[in-house]
Amino acid sequence: MKLNKKGEFNFVLIFAIVAGSMILLLAIYGAVKAGSGLQKQTEFELAKSLDIITNPLQAGFAEGSTSRITFRRDTRINNECDTDSKFGENVISVQTKASVGQAWTDNPGEYKIFNKYLFSNFQEGKTFYVYSKPFYTGYKVTDLIFMSTEDYCFVFPPKEIEEEVSGLNVPNIGLQLEEGNNTCSDGAKKICFGTSGCEITVKGECSESRCSSAYDFGYITDENGTRTYYSGSLIYAALLSDKNVYECNVKRLLYRSSRVADILSRKIDLMSMRGCSSLLKTDLDKFAIILQNASAKDLESVYYLANDLEKKNLREGGCKLW
């Protein structure tokens, strides 16, 4: 009888322990899954918010604008670019650091941005500096958006870049000037203009009389010896992003520019019906065809063609196209 009671007690206890622990495990599993689901939801919302937040940075008529995005937790922002569709896209994924369990989520949700040109590296931090500069190929095509957490130091930049950086008032880009002024922070990534001894070197290649500065276009060489070609405001794009992202975005930009050229060419037909004819139609049609499949290596010829177009448009007087 005593034995029976003991056996009965043991069975009830074992049954309770097994069933109880199963329920507990199921509850923990459910909670963890729900938690990671919520984290993914938050990350996707952050990626979408990044798209919305950067809308005002499409500067309108301004020559540039600066902003800062601060997250409550350490955040990783990965930016990829592809040209699968006609206009291509930036694919943004955001990961926030979890306080319990696995720090970073696997397979973060991706958010595609089709109408922006975002230049950045893979970055981690709480504060991200975002700024924009317009991109022209004779006419304005769009505003380029740059995003970085890292500190940069421009060593002996040319006057126009010095003024541009000072005007933009970007907190994470310091200047080391020939006159002795130095606003660079310790540990900032050094970028030399024309001189050597930095992690990144910029070499201006524009030597013709048509150039307003030697740095209108040229090469950027990093510590691995990778050379990246830039033109105009793309200098910041080439400095602040991966070579792949940069070249992919440049291809997207040039395609977009070709579409704008096509619209401007069609606009001439409508304008001429109201007595406002233009001599630019042939040039714009040719330019649109060249840009359609152009890439970063074509930037030098695009620069000269764009300059010529701009000058011709100014000569159109009241009937100018842009």
Partner 1 sequence: MVEMNKLADMKIMQMTFMILFVFIFFTFAGLFFLSIQSGKIAENFNNLQRESAISSVETISNMPELNCDSSRTMCLDEDKVITFATISKSYKNFWPVASIRVRKVFPMNVKNIRCPAANCSYYEVYNSNQTNVVEYGTFVSICKAVRNEGVVQEICELGRLDVGVKISS
Give whichever of 74 and 262 is closer to partner 1, judged by the CB atom: 262
Rule CB under 8 A: is residue 19 a binding residue for partner 1?
yes
Please state, in angstroms and rounded to a whole number, the distance separating the CA atoms of residues 94 and 75: 7
Rule CB under 8 A: is residue 140 a binding residue for partner 1?
yes
Local structure of 75: helix, strand or coil: strand
Rule CB under 8 A: is residue 27 a binding residue for partner 1?
yes
Q: Which residues contact 128 (CB under 8 A, 6 or more apart)?
A: 68, 69, 70, 71, 75, 77, 147, 148, 149
Give whichever of 40 and 189 is closer to partner 1, judged by the CB atom: 40
Rule CB under 8 A: is residue 23 a binding residue for partner 1?
yes
Rule CB under 8 A: is residue 14 a binding residue for partner 1?
no
Stretch of 83-91, 155-163, 184-192, 222-230 contacting partner 1, by CB under 8 A: 83-91
Rule CB under 8 A: is residue 281 a binding residue for partner 1?
no
Stretch of 52-60, 67-75, 204-212, 218-226 contacting partner 1, by CB under 8 A: 52-60
Please state, in angstroms and rounded to a whole number, the distance separating the CA atoms of residues 111 and 77: 11
For partner 1, the binding residue among 30, 35, 101, 171 (CB under 8 A) is: 30
For partner 1, the binding residue among 71, 104, 139, 219 (CB under 8 A) is: 139
CB of 256 to partner 1, least distance (A): 8
Rule CB under 8 A: is residue 134 a binding residue for partner 1?
yes
Q: Which of 196, 180, 184 is nearest to 154 (CA)?
A: 184
Rule CB under 8 A: is residue 311 a binding residue for partner 1?
no
- Rounded-to-10 torsion of CA 303, 304, 307, 308: -150
Per 3-state DSSP, the chain is made up of helix, strand and coil in percentages (nearest 5) of 45, 25, 30
Rule CB under 8 A: is residue 91 a binding residue for partner 1?
no
| Residue 26: Cβ within 10 Å count | 10
Rule CB under 8 A: is residue 4 a binding residue for partner 1?
yes
Sheet holding 173-176, edge to edge: 173-176, 152-155, 189-193, 200-204, 217-221, 227-231
Contacts with partner 1 in 143-172 (CB under 8 A)? none
Q: Could you tell me which residues are beta bridge partners of residue 201?
A: 192, 221
Please state, in angstroms and rounded to a whole number, the distance separating the CA atoms of residues 32 and 39: 10
Rule CB under 8 A: is residue 185 a binding residue for partner 1?
no
Q: What is the DSSP string of 207-274?
A: -STT-SSGGGEEEEE-TT--EEEEETTHHHHHHHS-HHHHHHHHHHHHHHHHHHHHHHHHHHHHHHTT
Please state, in angstroms and rounded to a whole number, the distance separating the CA atoms of residues 60 and 231: 21
Rule CB under 8 A: is residue 29 a binding residue for partner 1?
no
Query: Hey, what are 132's tokens?
Result: 């924009």
Please state, in angstroms and rounded to a whole number, the distance separating the CA atoms of residues 168 and 133: 9
Rule CB under 8 A: is residue 6 a binding residue for partner 1?
no
303 and 216 in contact (C-beta within 8 Å)? yes
Q: Which residues contact 6 (CB under 8 A, 6 or more apart)?
A: none
Rule CB under 8 A: is residue 2 a binding residue for partner 1?
no
Stretch of 4-12, 69-77, 91-99, 183-191 contacting partner 1, by CB under 8 A: 4-12
Total binding residues toward partner 1, as defined by CB under 8 A: 52
Rule CB under 8 A: is residue 312 a binding residue for partner 1?
no
Rule CB under 8 A: is residue 141 a binding residue for partner 1?
yes
CB of 82 to partner 1, least distance (A): 13
Site of interaction with partner 1 (CB under 8 A): 1, 4-5, 8, 11-12, 15-16, 19-20, 23, 26-27, 30, 34, 38, 41, 45, 48-49, 51-52, 55-56, 58, 60-61, 85-87, 114-115, 134, 139-142, 259-260, 262-263, 266-267, 270-271, 274-276, 317-319, 322
